Amino acid sequence: MAKILYIDPKYCIACRACEVACEREHEGLNHIEVYVVEEAKASIPYTCRHCESAPCVAVCPTKALYRTDSGVFVNYLRCIGCRQCIVACPFGIPKFIESLKVVVKCDLCRHRLMKNYMPACVSTCPTGAISYVEEAEIAKLKRVAEVTKIIEAIKASKTLTSGVVAHAH
């Protein structure tokens, strides 16, 4: 089963370590951004979702963008800088680099993965808000979180009703 980049915003503390790590690994280019929503007191690291049916891949006239079992990648030698992928991406992820005349995006630090290292954003995140895990692990985490909510709700309802005595007629 394929691994995917999983971001859990409830653990993000907006430290931006992921941004710094990405820039370090990609010669100053950043492929992840932390957005802070002050009103909600929340932050979320935002990067390519490596879509299964990636619109950016579908519209690329030169097949510079392509999908493997690992994710969506750019072959910079094939990119003609048409920017169709930027228009097609529902998340606004690909960026055109004027000086290079190509589009860039998160590559999951492929150079690190080939050495059995995690993507830089994952290994740098101090809270575990960003992880690189099997899809089945994510489903399990979500089930555990949901069951935990249900258990907490049951405990809360028992606390609320523990002083109530039911009368049978």
**pLDDT tens across 8-49, in order?**
999 999 999 999 999 999 999 999 999 999 998 999 999 999
Within-domain flag for 74: yes
Give the separation between CA 75 and CA 64, rounded to whole angstroms: 5
Q: Give percent of the chain with pLDDT exceeding 90.
A: 78
Question: Which of 68-72, 89-93, 94-98, 115-119 shows the lowest mean pLDDT across its residues?
Answer: 68-72
CA dihedral (145, 108, 90, 34) positive or negative? positive
The per-residue pLDDT for 11 is 95
Calculate mean pLDDT across residues 122-129. Answer: 97
Within-domain flag for 64: yes
Local confidence band at 161 (pLDDT 50, 70, 90 cut-offs): low
Within-domain flag for 166: no
Same domain assignment for residues 43 and 61: no
Within-domain flag for 86: yes
Within-domain flag for 20: yes
Q: Count of H helices and E strands in the chain? A: 6, 8
Question: Higher-confidence residue: 136 or 65?
Answer: 65
CB atoms within 10 A of CB 50: 20
Same domain assignment for residues 14 and 59: no
Question: Which of 15-19, 42-46, 92-96, 138-142 shows the lowest mean pLDDT across its residues?
Answer: 138-142
The per-residue pLDDT of the chain, averaged, comes to: 92
Asked if the model's pLDDT at residue 1 lies above 80, the reply is no
Question: Which of 6-15, 104-113, 148-157 shows the lowest mean pLDDT across its residues?
Answer: 148-157
Within-domain flag for 34: yes
Within-domain flag for 143: yes
Same domain assignment for residues 126 and 145: yes
> Which CATH number does the domain housing residue 152 bear?
3.30.70.20
Give the separation between CA 12 and CA 18, rounded to whole angstroms: 10
Residue ranges making up the domain that contains 55? 50-105
* Total number of domains in the chain: 2
Whether pTM exceeds 0.85? no
